[in-house]
Amino acid sequence: MLKQMRRHAKYFYVLFVVIIVTFIFWGVGRNGNEKGEQTVATVDGTKIPLDRYWQVYQRAEDSARDTYGAKFDDNMKKALEMKVLGEMVVNEMLSHAALSEGITVTDNELSEAISAEPAFRQGGVFSREAYLRILRMNHITPEQYESSRREELLADKMRNLIVDPIELSPSELAQLPGGNPHTAGQIREAILNVKRERALVSYLEGLKSRMKVTENPGLIS
C-alpha cells in the first residue's frame, strides 16, 4: 500500500486536502459494531468501514474529475481508490502513534482549527451559525465533528514532527543550479519534498511492524 501511494503521489498531491476534509466529515462513528459490517482496514482495533471509505472516495473522485476532466481515466481512478485507502490508514496510524507518544491537542488548538476552516467563515470571520448549519446538513453533531477534527490534528502533529526537521544537506544545496533564483527555489522545494516523503514512508513502515494493521483492498477493486 505504501509503495502504491508513493508511485502515484505526483498525480494526487493536490487531492490530499480533499481527502482530509472528507475524512473528517465522514469519519464519525469510527468503531461501528453493526452485524455484518464490512471493514476495508483495521488499525490496532480501529475499524475503517467500507461504507465510510466509499463516502470519502466519492468526494475525492468528484474533486479529481473537476481537476483533471477527461484526463481522469480508469488507471487514475484505480490509483485514487488506493490513495484514499492509504491516506485513511495513514491517518489512523499517525493518530495512534501520537497518542502513544503523549501528544495531545488542546481545546484552544481545536477551537482555532475549527475557526480557521473556510467553510465555517462568513465575511472573513468564523460563524457559529454556519458551523452548525453545515454539520446539520451532513448529519453530524458538533461533538462528533470535534472528536474527528481533534484526531486529525493529532495526525498532523505527528506528521509534522517527522518531516519538519528534515532539510537539504550542505552537499545537496551546493548542487542546486545557480542563475534564476525562482527556478532554484522550485528545485530545492521539489528535492526537499522527496526527502520528507521518504522519511514519512520510512516511519510508517516502521509503525506497521509494531501495529496490527490489516487492509482488504479486494473490497474496493
Element of type H or E holding 57 = helix 50-68
**Over 80: is that where the pLDDT of 29 sits?**
no
- The pLDDT score that the predictor gives to residue 181 is 85
Q: Tell which wins on pLDDT, 155 or 23.
A: 155
Q: Which residues are 174's β-sheet partners?
A: none
Residue at 194: amino acid letter: V
Tell me the C-alpha distance between 25 and 120, whole Å: 13
Task: Give the whole-number percent of the chain exceeding pLDDT 70.
Answer: 84
Tell me the C-alpha distance between 219 and 44, whole Å: 20
- The pLDDT score that the predictor gives to residue 180 is 83
C-alpha dist (Å) from residue 31 to 64, 109, 122: 28, 25, 34
Domains of the chain: 2-219 (1.10.4030.10)
Q: Tell which wins on pLDDT, 23 or 51.
A: 51
Element of type H or E holding 190 = helix 181-210
- The pLDDT score that the predictor gives to residue 61 is 93
Which residues, 6 or more positions from 145, have their beta carbon under 8 angstroms from its beta carbon?
Answer: 24, 25, 28, 135
Long-range contacts of 69-77 (CB under 8 A, 24+ apart): 76/11
Element of type H or E holding 198 = helix 181-210
Contact 189, 212 (CB under 8 A): no
- The pLDDT score that the predictor gives to residue 25 is 53
Residue found under cell 481545536: 110
Cell numbers given for 32? 461501528
For residue range 47-69, list pLDDT tens digits in order: 999 988 998 898 889 989 999 99
Tell me the C-alpha distance between 89 and 46, whole Å: 10
- The pLDDT score that the predictor gives to residue 3 is 46
Tell me the C-alpha distance between 91 and 23, whole Å: 9
